[in-house]
Amino acid sequence: MPNALFSVPKAVNETVLSYSPGSPERSRLLKTYEKMLGEEVDIPMFIGGREVRSGSLRECRPPHDHQRVIGRYHWGGKEHVEQAIDAALAAHASWSSMPWFERAGIFLRAADLVSGPYRDKINAATMLAQSKTVHQAEIDAACEFADFLRFNVQFMTEIYAQQPESSPGMWNRMEYRALEGFILAVTPFNFTAIAGNLPSAPALMGNVALWKPADTQVYSAWVIMEIFRKAGLPDGVINLVYADGALVGDLVFKHPDFAGLHFTGSTSVFKHLWKEVGANIDRYKAYPRIVGETGGKDFILAHPSADAAEVATSMSRGAFEFQGQKCSAASRAYVPASLWPQVKQHLVDDVKSFKMGSPGDPSNFMTAVIDERSFDKIASFIEYAKSQKDAEVLVGGGYDKSKGYFIEATVVATTNPNFRTMCEEIFGPFLTIFVYEDARWSETLDLINRTSEYALTGAVFSRDRYAVDEATRRLAFAAGNFYVNDKPTGAVVGQQPFGGARGSGTNDKAGSILNLLRWVSPRTIKETLVPPADYRYPFLG
């Protein structure tokens, strides 16, 4: 062990590259994209450092070009899940006792691989697998992922530096042990960065993990795993298995060494998993940590003093980038009658100007939604809106899945503030707007607060500071990430720690010290410097 208290490099957010026409990054990335589009890769699971091929193959197809196969992955069964748990537990002793700075070195190296030599590959994989535009891939797969890794290393040292006071005659210390057992990381399709962060944040703190990604994100998960291995992550620390969620849950939640769940995905799946954990509580050696970031019904509220162009732009970007498939995407909006004509005009013009198509053409603002199930669900919401008397489709409303799962950006105006699409998460390019009378600003705050089960993100637009203050206070529990004069998407690690409350999750704020605290079990050590040698206290004399 070195005789030194090391400090780590100060974390700085990765610069988002522009990919503007003629830039070197643009031609490099598009070349990588075309190359990967033309290949059919074989994607194994990773268990105990081994590449595992079950022979039971499933296809990876780009959502915007679903007739094309870009890879085949090996589907796992019961034995693979069991092997992954065993491999994780076998790695626990050496990994959890490895000096923290060695773990830091691995993940700092992973960050530099992501932002350096792997930047094009991880961005191209995200464009292909999840149909993200160049810009959406860059802010997610390259920048946010590198940020998670670098900031988490810094936060880890801040946690370790927190030490108790010591009165005279004693020395008190706190060590931040890993959890005893293994972590299950269950990740969503929509962010490559989140997929990488959910297993690696606990691993950084000394834990071992089984990682189950979403089926539609396997292709980019495979690139993440390649980076972790290249960074020197020891065998068995993170084990990547592609298998049925219910099967994984069944085996993991009955295991006595299950120590924690790190989940991001829908509210209904999270609630189901929490129930499973509860039902099996008597089996576990310790109380498992449960961290879940889930759905949203995110709002934009405009005050009569707001600027119409700013409000409309926040809707165009906040509701439709990545086809509205961000948990933070604006999906309900409240606009005062006095401002509505201008907002409507600007928004409808914007939406009509959107280009939609393959991410291989960087001039497209929107691409396809993730899969057929999602496509059908969103299309059914569109048909529902078209059929209702209290709603009107202002723009969009078309969809076509012949080549890719393309759905037009759709804006619906409703006269019913409790219209179904004002309340339920749709997870697609679908924004519903309720126009309120200017005089009803105050009631509108209450309405927003009680309309949905979620409380993830929300935004207020106003040039009147009293209104900003009132909305901030009255909507204190309506969003875990609240924006003033900004769209409700685009949280940056280290700057806007992310997570919501109510039905939106446990609000453990990914990309902050609060999240890492869930993956440690502190041990307090008290040492008495000169122990007493006589039991009699002075007062007994």
Active site members: 293, 327
Please select the residue that binds ligand NAD; options are 118, 148, 182, 191, rule is CB under 6 A.
Answer: 191
Query: Is residue 481 a contact point for ligand NAD (CB under 6 A)?
Result: no
Query: Is residue 429 a contact point for ligand NAD (CB under 6 A)?
Result: no
Q: Give, as ranges, the residues between 251 and 270 that touch ligand NAD (CB under 6 A).
A: 264-266, 269
Query: Is residue 186 a contact point for ligand NAD (CB under 6 A)?
Result: yes
Question: What's the closest the beta carbon of residue 199 comes to ligand NAD, in angstroms?
Answer: 12
Do residues 177 and 161 touch, judged by C-beta distance below 8 A?
A: no
Question: What's the closest the beta carbon of residue 78 comes to ligand NAD, in angstroms?
Answer: 14
Helix (H, G, I), strand (E, B) or coil at 111: helix
CA torsion sign, 190 to 239 to 250 to 290?
A: negative
Query: Is residue 75 a contact point for ligand NAD (CB under 6 A)?
Result: no
Query: Is residue 427 a contact point for ligand NAD (CB under 6 A)?
Result: yes
Helix (H, G, I), strand (E, B) or coil at 45: strand
Q: What distances in angstroms separate CA 96 from CA 77, 127, 205, 260, one per listed residue?
A: 28, 35, 8, 15
Query: Is residue 138 a contact point for ligand NAD (CB under 6 A)?
Result: no
Query: Is residue 220 a contact point for ligand NAD (CB under 6 A)?
Result: no
Query: Is residue 248 a contact point for ligand NAD (CB under 6 A)?
Result: yes
Query: Is residue 239 a contact point for ligand NAD (CB under 6 A)?
Result: no
User: Of the two residues 260 and 500, which places its CB atom closer to ligand NAD in the complex?
Assistant: 500
Question: What's the closest the beta carbon of residue 426 comes to ligand NAD, in angstroms?
Answer: 10
Cα–Cα distance, 483 to 263 (Å, whole number)? 25
Structure tokens that stand for 356 in this block: 């939609």
Please select the residue that binds ligand NAD; options are 152, 207, 294, 489, rule is CB under 6 A.
Answer: 294
Size of the site for ligand NAD (CB under 6 A): 32
Question: What's the closest the beta carbon of residue 365 comes to ligand NAD, in angstroms?
Answer: 21
Query: Is residue 245 a contact point for ligand NAD (CB under 6 A)?
Result: yes
Do residues 49 and 234 touch, judged by C-beta distance below 8 A?
A: yes
Task: Name the one range near ligand NAD by CB under 6 A: 288-296, 315-323, 391-399, 438-446.
Answer: 288-296
In DSSP terms, 458 is beta-bridged to 299, 482
Residue 180 has a CB neighbour count (10 Å cut-off) of: 13
Query: Is residue 76 a contact point for ligand NAD (CB under 6 A)?
Result: no
C-alpha count within 13 angstroms, C-beta hemisphere, residue 515: 35
User: Of the two residues 142 and 435, which places its CB atom closer to ligand NAD in the complex?
Assistant: 142
Q: Give, as ranges, the residues between 317 and 346 that touch ligand NAD (CB under 6 A).
A: 327
Angle 148-368-43 (CA atoms, 0-180°, nearest 5)? Answer: 60
Question: What's the closest the beta carbon of residue 96 comes to ligand NAD, in angstroms?
Answer: 25
Tell me which H or E stretch contains 421. helix 420-423
CB-count exposure of residue 311 (10 Å: 0-12, 13-18, 19+): buried
The single residue listed with the structure tokens 């060494």 is 257
Query: Is residue 300 a contact point for ligand NAD (CB under 6 A)?
Result: no
Query: Is residue 187 a contact point for ligand NAD (CB under 6 A)?
Result: yes
Structure tokens that stand for 175 in this block: 């060590």
Task: Name the one range near ligand NAD by CB under 6 A: 140-148, 154-162, 185-193, 221-229.
Answer: 185-193
The single residue listed with the structure tokens 């065993």 is 86
> Which of 84, 397, 26 minimizes the C-alpha distance to 248?
84
Question: What's the closest the beta carbon of residue 268 comes to ligand NAD, in angstroms?
Answer: 7
Binding mask 192-211 for ligand NAD (x = CB under 6 A): --x-----------------
Cβ-count burial 391-400 (b if 16+ within 10 Å, e if not): beebbbbebe
> Which of 115, 120, 138, 71 minimizes the C-alpha distance to 322?
138
Task: Name the one range near ligand NAD by CB under 6 A: 102-110, 134-142, 294-302, 413-421.
Answer: 294-302
Query: Is residue 494 a contact point for ligand NAD (CB under 6 A)?
Result: no
Helix/strand/coil percentages in the chain, nearest 5: 40, 20, 40
C-alpha count within 13 angstroms, C-beta hemisphere, residue 251: 21
User: Of the two residues 113 and 195, which places its CB atom closer to ligand NAD in the complex?
Assistant: 195
Cα–Cα distance, 402 to 348 (Å, whole number)? 26
The residues of the shown chain that bind ligand NAD, judged by CB under 6 A, are 186-191, 194, 212-214, 245-246, 248-249, 264-266, 269, 272-273, 293-296, 327, 425, 427, 456, 498, 500, 504-505
